[in-house]
Amino acid sequence: MKKKTILVTGGGGFIGSHLCERLLKENYDVICVDNFYTGSKNNIRHLLSHPDFELIRHDITLPLVAEVDAIFNLACPASPVHYQNDPIHTTKTCVVGAINMLGLALRLRIPILQSSTSEVYGDPTIHPQREEYWGNVNCIGPRSCYDEGKRCAETLFFDYHRQCGVDIKVVRIFNTYGPRMLPNDGRVVSNFIVQALRGEDITIYGDGQQTRSFCYIDDMIEALLRMMRQGPEVHGPFNLGNPAEFTMLELADLIIRLTGSKSRKVFKPLPADDPVKRRPDISRAQQTLHWQPQIGLEEGLKKTIAYFDGVL
């Protein structure tokens, strides 16, 4: 039988590069599409010589022609530092990019997975967050380009499914971490690890009591693959993340201990619209995908710290 070809947009990014690697191990042909706005060739350099791997430098806000069997749409800056740097292009990537990829999926009659985000819930008024919750999002704030862009992308996916019959899979990814995160991406795990390894003050915004849930990259990749393997009757959205919840102070203390750092904790004002609590209810994913995270925070942080220690 002909090998299936999988298109991964944002394949040079943190999650995308791990997904490309896993797909190659499972004997798929992989086409990686990235404009390298936040992705890096270093993330996929070890794949460039693989006979089943192809790299296309392309921005999905422009139409793309390809012959593939499935699409993982992961393209979009995902950290506040990067998506706020060019908010107009962030919104275009979410919305116009979704239209272009959905059009390709419609033409080829293939399944397409959308990597949405926990940011669609905004600063939630319910806890933990379930998929039925419609969110509490500021539509004109500094984070809106990403939050509302991803919400609009979900709308497009479900409308293409209802109106055109496209086989869609929508997942809402909560905080994910691991090797190949960018040192300067502004996310809390990479920030704390880099500051600790350099012996710098660890910057905590607010009083440090705000919470997040952290999923290790290997667990997330497994969830994405299980979602794509579902039949056309399964659309989502599904929350994907680790429901174990930690305060920023707990995270900082753990990273200081694991790195043996002498860093001090310093406090700064909380950024605008920054969520106070974030924890996924993953009941749907557990029941339908038979998935739940296997790697605890301390184990995953040790692997992530070893990676950053090697690249800094």
Report, as residue numbers or ranges, the catalytic residues.
146
CA dist list (Å): 165 to 97, 148, 168, 221: 19, 24, 9, 26
CA–CA separation, 81 and 47 (whole Å): 28
Amino acid of residue 68: V
For 30, phi then psi, to 5°, come to -125, 125
CA–CA separation, 223 and 137 (whole Å): 26
Q: Cβ(103)–Cβ(166) under 8 Å?
A: no
Beta strand pairing call for 245-247 and 211-213:
antiparallel
Cα 286 from chain centre: 19
In 131-289, alpha helices (H): 144-164, 188-197, 217-228, 248-259, 283-289
